């Protein structure tokens, strides 16, 4: 649980440092993959939903979703199927 929380905090702080900057397409793709894989792996390991869906995770998820929407409007094929929407949703 602590490892998951620490990982999300690092990503959240990194995104906060770049709050006024739009992420590059490769940064966005990489962060989406990292966040989704981390979430899924820790969910499979039995980490509680309260820890998984923390305020930090919600902040990261919201920022990446907004960045994803911006890219989809400005760059037609930029993300190539990579999305924050979970495949089981």
12 three-state secondary structure = helix
pLDDT tens digits, one per residue of 46-80: 999 999 999 999 999 999 999 988 887 776 666 66
Q: How confident is the model at residue 13 (pLDDT cuts 50, 70, 90)?
A: very high
Burial pattern 7-28, b for ≥16 Cβ within 10 A else e, equals bbeebbeebeeeeeeebebeeb
Q: What is the pLDDT of residue 80?
A: 67
Which region holds residue 46: left if phi is over 0, alpha if psi is between -120 and 50, else beta? left
CA separation for the pair 86, 89 (Å, rounded): 5
Q: Helix, strand or coil for residue 2?
A: helix
pTM of whole model > 0.75?
yes
């Amino acid at each position: 649980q602590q490892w998951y929380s620490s990982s999300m905090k690092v990503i959240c702080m990194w995104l906060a440092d770049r709050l006024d900057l739009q992420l590059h397409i490769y940064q966005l793709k990489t962060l989406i993959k990292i966040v989704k894989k981390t979430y899924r792996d820790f969910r499979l390991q039995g980490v509680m939903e309260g820890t998984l869906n923390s305020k930090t995770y919600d902040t990261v998820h919201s920022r990446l979703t907004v960045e994803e929407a911006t890219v989809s409007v400005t760059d037609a094929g930029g993300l190539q199927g990579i999305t924050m929407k979970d495949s089981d949703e």
